[in-house]
């Protein structure tokens, strides 16, 4: 049993965690601190116990929020953060840096912001290709030896990189985008994770809100919403993808589930080692998402879902050129992708 699984069992955590990024980062203006603190406190009360943050989010503001909101609750939660990608205050932009000294300093700073003496899970947010992966995970391994980190994770890496990393240190989890309309982990990453008992933590399991029906018109997104730069949300591609969403939404209604719950139930059916971490600013949506942990789908329903939003049907890549250059994940060849009929 991996350290991540052991910790989740020890605190009786549900199979669905909470991604905290969108409270501070990526989806338009940050939520005011008072509202964000209220949302995190409510999430804990409703049953969330796996909280995921990062040094990058809100230029450290997200970690500070969690440090305040979860004070006094540390023993009851699994706390995960990430290093190796941060906003450089001098440059005013994101920098990927996987050098051992950088990771050590970022960990020390994260512990202070999160008001804790250890992190249950600490991810390398992005692999810095200027630094061998073995050096970066070796530095994280030393943090484990010092008791500052319980287990090591990686984010947005390929199966080959995971295998290299785990030859240096045990890897408890890999975080990757995974949902009905983003199935890249199925190319090889899930297999590589299962070879070593590594959990796959699925971020954006609701397709950045698309699968939940929350993005009907991308033009209404705030100017600083990251989805504006993602090809799937371009005017032409989004219109095509909306036609795919119709059948999915109809199936959710047929099953008396919300579309978001159906998307999460599909992921949960992929295996107990697949752990979705949807994020939301809405307390109602948080409750709705958490309730999906107890839902099950019939083989017939899974067969119908597997045929929906396949890689050859979805219009547009998941990342734009700049973001795609930062990740190491396997990607489907979209050269022969067909627009939805």
Enter the pTM of the model: 0.96
Q: Which residue has the tokens 């627009």?
A: 339
**pLDDT given at position 341:** 43
Tell me yes or no: is domain 3-224+259-299 CATH 3.20.20.100. yes
Burial of 276 (0-12, 13-18, 19+ CB in 10 A): buried
Per-domain boundaries in the chain: 3-224+259-299
**pLDDT given at position 333:** 78
In the three-class reduction of DSSP (H, G, I as helix; E, B as strand; rest coil), residue 199 is classed as strand
How far is 44 from 46, CA to CA, in rounded Å?
5
Burial of 201 (0-12, 13-18, 19+ CB in 10 A): buried
Tokens representing residue 182 in the block: 């983003």
- CA-based nearest residue to 84, from 62, 63, 106: 106
Q: What is the pLDDT along the chain (341 residues), one digit of tens a residue?
A: 778 888 999 999 999 999 999 999 999 999 999 999 999 999 999 999 999 999 999 999 999 999 999 999 999 999 999 999 999 998 989 999 999 999 999 999 999 999 999 999 999 999 999 999 999 999 999 999 999 999 999 999 999 999 999 999 999 999 999 999 999 999 999 999 999 999 999 999 999 999 999 999 999 999 999 999 999 999 999 999 999 999 999 999 999 999 999 999 999 999 999 999 999 999 999 999 999 999 999 999 999 999 999 999 999 999 999 999 999 999 997 654 544 44
The end-to-end CA distance of the chain, in Å, is 45
Kindly provide the residue ranges of all beta strands, DSSP E only, lying in 161-209, ordered along the sequence.
Answer: 173-177, 199-203
Integer angstrom CA distances of residue 160 from 122, 153, 192, 326? 20, 15, 8, 16
How far is 258 from 262, CA to CA, in rounded Å?
6
The conformational region for residue 191 under phi > 0 = left, psi -120 to 50 = alpha, else beta, is alpha
Contact 120, 80 (CB under 8 A): yes
**Would you tell me the crossing angle of helices 283-291 and 259-268 to the nearest 10 degrees?**
40
**pLDDT given at position 336:** 42
**pLDDT given at position 5:** 85
Q: Give the single-character DSSP code of 312.
A: T
Q: Point out the catalytic residue in the list 27, 48, 57, 122.
A: 57
**pLDDT given at position 335:** 54
**Is 27 assigned a catalytic role?**
no
Burial of 329 (0-12, 13-18, 19+ CB in 10 A): buried
DSSP for 22-33, written as a single string:
GGTSSBSSPPPH
Q: Which residue has the tokens 């810095």?
A: 128
Contact 7, 120 (CB under 8 A): yes
**pLDDT given at position 334:** 61
Tokens representing residue 28 in the block: 């338009």
């Amino acid at each position: 049993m991996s350290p991540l699984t052991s910790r989740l069992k020890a605190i009786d955590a549900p199979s669905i965690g909470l991604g905290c990024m969108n409270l501070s980062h990526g989806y338009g203006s940050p939520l005011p601190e008072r509202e964000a603190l209220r949302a995190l406190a409510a999430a804990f009360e409703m049953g969330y116990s796996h909280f995921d943050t990062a040094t990058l989010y809100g230029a450290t503001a997200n970690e500070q929020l969690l440090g305040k909101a979860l004070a006094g609750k540390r023993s009851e939660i699994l706390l995960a953060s990430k290093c190796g990608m941060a906003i450089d205050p001098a440059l005013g932009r994101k920098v990927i840096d996987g050098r051992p000294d950088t990771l050590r300093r970022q960990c020390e700073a994260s512990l202070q912001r999160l008001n804790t003496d250890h992190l249950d899970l600490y991810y390398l947010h992005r692999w810095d290709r200027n630094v061998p992966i073995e050096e970066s995970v070796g530095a994280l391994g030393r943090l484990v030896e010092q008791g500052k980190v319980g287990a090591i994770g990686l984010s947005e890496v390929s199966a080959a990189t995971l295998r290299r990393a785990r030859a240096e240190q045990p890897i408890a989890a890999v975080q990757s985008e995974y949902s009905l309309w983003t199935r890249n982990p199925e190319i090889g990453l899930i297999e590589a994770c299962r070879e070593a008992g590594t959990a796959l933590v699925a971020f954006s399991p609701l397709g950045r809100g698309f699968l939940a029906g929350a993005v009907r018109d991308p033009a209404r997104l705030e100017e600083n919403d990251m989805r504006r730069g993602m090809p799937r949300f371009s005017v032409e591609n989004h219109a095509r993808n909306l036609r795919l969403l119709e059948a999915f939404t109809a199936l959710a209604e047929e099953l008396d589930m919300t579309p978001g719950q159906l998307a999460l139930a599909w992921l949960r059916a992929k295996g107990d080692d697949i752990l979705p971490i949807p994020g939301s600013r809405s307390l109602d949506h948080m409750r709705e998402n958490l309730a999906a942990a107890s839902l099950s789908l019939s083989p017939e329903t899974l067969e119908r879902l597997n045929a929906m939003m396949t890689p050859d049907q979805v219009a547009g890549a998941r990342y734009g050129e700049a973001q795609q250059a930062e990740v190491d994940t396997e990607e489907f060849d979209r050269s022969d992708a067909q627009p939805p009929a």
